[in-house]
Amino acid sequence: MKPSFIQPPQLLWESGAFSSTPLVQKSTCIQDLPDIFADERAWHALPADQVVYCVEMIDSSPAEGEFYTGVTHLNPGKVGNEFFMTRGHFHARREQGEVYFGLRGRGLLLLQNEAGEARLEEVFPGSVHIIPGFTAHRLINTGDEILSALAVWPGVAGHDYAALPQGFALRVVEENGEIMGKEVQNG
């Protein structure tokens, strides 16, 4: 008997583009990110509908034991001197982790535990990032081209954006042509 082969979804590693599979897509614009960037004046000065990032994910089940697979494409740019970044989140199910893979562009992955301690990992084509449970995560594009990263996370993880009312403890800015991580003074 000749076996039949199932055609799986395909990802073009160089661009992060999926093909041949039903996708869920979501774009996040400047107007969707109030209170995220430090320089409110600079944020207001940008076009409200300017896309900061878009996510494409394979339409899959959120059931226990299943995985979501998606790519974030984060545009280059700055609000004032602060690099474009994703909103960032804890998972609603805090113990659930996630894996990111850098595909193109250059940037940083900002990780923060529940004690508010933050750290930065470099993101580049081929980088692998094991995000443990109980860890908030945000992508930051410090380069001149689109930063694309593949992510795989449990279907039950969910998102909790409200858990970071003070935001992250680090901001990544450009100062005198250098990429700098600056501690945020909260409270």
For binding to Fe ion (CB under 5 A), which residues are involved? 98
Q: What number of residues does the chain have?
A: 187
| Nearest distance from C-beta of residue 112 to Fe ion, angstroms | 12
Spell out the SS3 assignment of 100-141.
EEEEECCEEEEEEECCCCEEEEEECCCCEEEECCCEEEEEEE
- The smaller minimum CB distance to Fe ion, of residues 57 and 79, is found at 57
Is 109 or 146 the residue whose CB approaches Fe ion more closely?
A: 109
**Closest CB 66 distance from Fe ion, rounded Å:** 15
- Least distance (Å) from Fe ion to the CB of residue 91? 6
Q: Nearest residue to Fe ion, using CB?
A: 98
For Fe ion, the closer CB: 56 or 98: 98
Looking at beta carbons only, is 124 or 161 nearer to Fe ion?
161
Q: Which is nearer to Fe ion, 44 or 93 (CB)?
A: 93
Q: Closest approach of Cβ 89 to Fe ion, in Å? A: 6
d(CA 173, CA 64): 39
Distances (CA, A) of 152 to 61, 71, 101: 13, 9, 9
Q: What's the closest the beta carbon of residue 147 comes to Fe ion, in angstroms?
A: 16
